[in-house]
Structure 1
């Protein structure tokens, strides 16, 4: 299978409006990208006290004072103006969400998009956000497995004597759930209960060997659970890749050898997205 190439759909700051989301989705699909992905925060604190997992020193240096469109509603807007691209979350903070309502929302979006939703989920890292939503931060890891179980039960159409309809287009197992994170527990969850793993690395620090190591741990967990490890997908979100796509392209063959099935990069939809896609596709 050839490497799939996805793009982050801008939906924050100056892009946090309907016209920008729709025009970006159209431009990125026309450019050739295989998928569009959004991130997820419901609220952000004025000052981040939590340890940020995606920097070497644990400090979040980006401004939290920006408009930030909700993930699933943003994908619904993108679904309305596209017909081919997969639509993914990278990642939805799962333990913060009410699972039955999320099951309904995800199945609805899957139906409206013709079966194009990919639900990338993670345990989250921002304790202040959990507190604002009345969710427990301490047990967010174990809750991941619980919520995924509820989602799939709902997607079967019946959950604890209740009808939860519509089902996803492909049925209860037809809406893929990719588990994010790099901790041993996250990799184990990806292998045991996920449909694959959603990894993240910064463009300046791409490390195919680390991806290969973690992907092997995920697949070992799957095999130990009696699952077909070869059926699990590996999607790599390459953060901070705007302006660094040549650097990303230079690593693609090694990433494929490491087991990556899809990369998701940052692209300027108003620039030359077709050229960006061509650069990556020809690598």
Structure 2
């Protein structure tokens, strides 16, 4: 998979948690995490706009990259999304990854005045959007694009290089589109490297990538992993169905080291759960677990 393993943290988009979220974001940056992620639900008034939050946090930090996981594409037309992402890239020194989704909560999405698309059309629009966003990045000649859903005429690309595109694909058609045009995949529903979802979905991506003349190894798999980080070990780190629950720093380190070395995980984004204060969870994650996994998975020199 990807040479570098990306470690990140999911942060809140709640309007009433802004102060704490900004403080934790700065701490995550100073602790050396690679990514922070925010969700994109613009139809909820109690949530911050994802890209406004992303830009503000990037302005407060120095090294950490931002990811909207994943962009609600139906509410953000591809040409303007490309301008947003390339602008944030230019302003932040390239500290952005573009997360892309087909769109899931259509009853909510249509409240924004967006036209409802059927499943097949939504996937076609998704693939078209990724292609166009990339065409409008990295400079070059003006772009004319005549697609089913997007049309631009003689539009000048932004100078900033295209951001890596990671998708939240779930269905087979969307997974195949990821294989053809994206750079990474985030399995849905917090599925991990041992899940049936991963085992059944990743081959669809790989087959589509190979058919398009791409190397499947160039498409990263990045996991959203919720779980508690406890002071003492848990008797069981997974439930009866095999879903990860969490555990101590040592238990997390062992599990994630295996995920990288044995299952080729390219990135792991932690979402704290449970009653542990966020400061403590972030400290254990960023200052203990991540450095330990990085050390255990670093290339060995002769």
Preserved contact between residue 72 and residue 103 of structure 2 (Cα < 8 Å): yes
Preserved contact between residue 21 and residue 78 of structure 1 (Cα < 8 Å): no
Match of 2:264 among 259, 266, 271: 259
Q: 1:242 to 1:109 in 2, by over 3 A?
A: farther
Mapping for residues 146-225 of structure 1, pairs under 5 Å: 146-157=128-139, 158-160=142-144, 161-164=153-156, 166-168=158-160, 171=161, 174-202=162-190, 206=192, 208-210=194-196, 211-225=198-212
Q: Tell me the SS of whatever aligns to 2:280.
A: coil
Preserved contact between residue 143 and residue 157 of structure 2 (Cα < 8 Å): no
Determine which structure has greater relative contact order: mean sequence separation of CA pairs < 8 Å that are 6+ residues apart, divided by chain length. 1
* Structure 2 counterpart of 1:144: 126
Match of 2:58 among 79, 104, 120: 79
Extract unaligned runs of 5+ from structure 1.
45-65
Give per-residue Cα distances to partners, 1:25-61, cap 9 Å, x unaligned: 11111223111111101104xxxxxxxxxxxxxxxxx
* Structure 2 counterpart of 1:109: 88
Q: 1:249 to 1:217 in 2, by over 3 A?
A: farther
Could you tell me how far apart the structure 2 residues matched to 1:90 and 1:102 are? 14
| 2:282 corresponds to 1:273 | yes
* Structure 2 counterpart of 1:42: 42
Could you tell me how far apart the structure 2 residues matched to 1:94 and 1:140 are? 9
Mapping for residues 59-74 of structure 1, pairs under 5 Å: 67-74=46-53
Could you tell me how far apart the structure 2 residues matched to 1:155 and 1:100 are? 10
Mapping for residues 92-131 of structure 1, pairs under 5 Å: 92-131=71-110
Q: Tell me the SS of whatever aligns to 1:208.
A: coil
Extract unaligned runs of 5+ from structure 2.
145-152, 230-244, 294-302
Could you tell me how far apart the structure 2 residues matched to 1:132 and 1:42 are? 10
Could you tell me how far apart the structure 2 residues matched to 1:180 and 1:189 are? 11
Preserved contact between residue 176 and residue 205 of structure 2 (Cα < 8 Å): yes
Which structure has the larger Rg?
2
Q: Tell me the SS of whatever aligns to 2:55.
A: helix
| 2:227 corresponds to 1:241 | yes
Could you tell me how far apart the structure 2 residues matched to 1:213 and 1:250 are? 25
Could you tell me how far apart the structure 1 residues matched to 2:267 and 2:137 are? 25
The alignment's TM-score, normalised by the length of structure 2, stands at 0.75
Q: Alpha-carbon deviation of 1:280?
A: 4.3
Preserved contact between residue 36 and residue 86 of structure 1 (Cα < 8 Å): yes
Could you tell me how far apart the structure 1 residues matched to 2:169 and 2:72 are? 11
- Deviation larger for 21-30 or 155-164: 155-164
| 2:6 corresponds to 1:14 | no
Q: Tell me the SS of whatever aligns to 1:186.
A: helix
Match of 1:135 among 101, 115, 118: 115
Q: Give the total of aligned pairs.
A: 253
Could you tell me how far apart the structure 2 residues matched to 1:213 and 1:253 are? 23
Could you tell me how far apart the structure 2 residues matched to 1:43 and 1:242 are? 29
